[in-house]
Amino acid sequence: SFDAVLVGGAAADPALLERARAAGVRVRTTYGMSETAGGCVYDGVPLDGVRVRVTEGVELAGPVLASGYRLDPAGTAAAFADGWFRTRDAGSLAPDGTLTVHGRLDDVVISGGVNVSPQAVEAALRE
C-alpha cells in the first residue's frame, strides 16, 4: 500500500488531480529541479527558507539553490542573478503565496505567428 502519490517533472493536469483526489488518492504535487537539489515546493507551498516570485517566469531563491553551473559562466550568468534562479517555467502566485506551475515558457507552438501554449489548447479541448 502507499500513503501518497508524488507528482512532479511537469505541470500537473488540474482535471487529473481532481479526479484522483475525488477517488480518494492523496496526491502531492512537487516542484523542483537539479538547481534546487530536488523538490523545494510541495502542493504550491515553498519549503522553509525557499522564496518564490513570478516575474517573466518562476524564480526561486534560498538555501537549496545551487550557486551556478560548473565551468559554465555564461549559463550561470543567464540563469542566476542576485541570489535568484530563473527557472524558465510559467507560473502564478495566489494571494496566499501558493505557486501554480503552468508549464515551460519555451513549450509553445507557433500558429499564425502567435506563440500558443499546448496546455491552453488541451484545456480548451477538455471543455
Closest CA relative to residue 79, chosen from 63, 65, 94: 65
What is the pTM (predicted TM-score) of this model?
Answer: 0.85
Instruction: Quote the pLDDT of residue 65.
Output: 97
Could you state, in order of their start, the residue ranges of all structural domains in the chain? 5-126
Q: Provide, rounded to the nearest whole percent, the portion of the chain with pLDDT above 90.
A: 70
Task: Please provide the CATH number assigned to the domain covering 5-126.
Answer: 2.30.38.10
The confidence band for 13, taking pLDDT boundaries of 50, 70 and 90, is confident
Whether the pLDDT of residue 15 is over 90: the answer is no
For 48-74, the pLDDT digits (tens) are 999 999 999 999 999 999 999 999 999
- The SS3 assignment for 78 reads helix
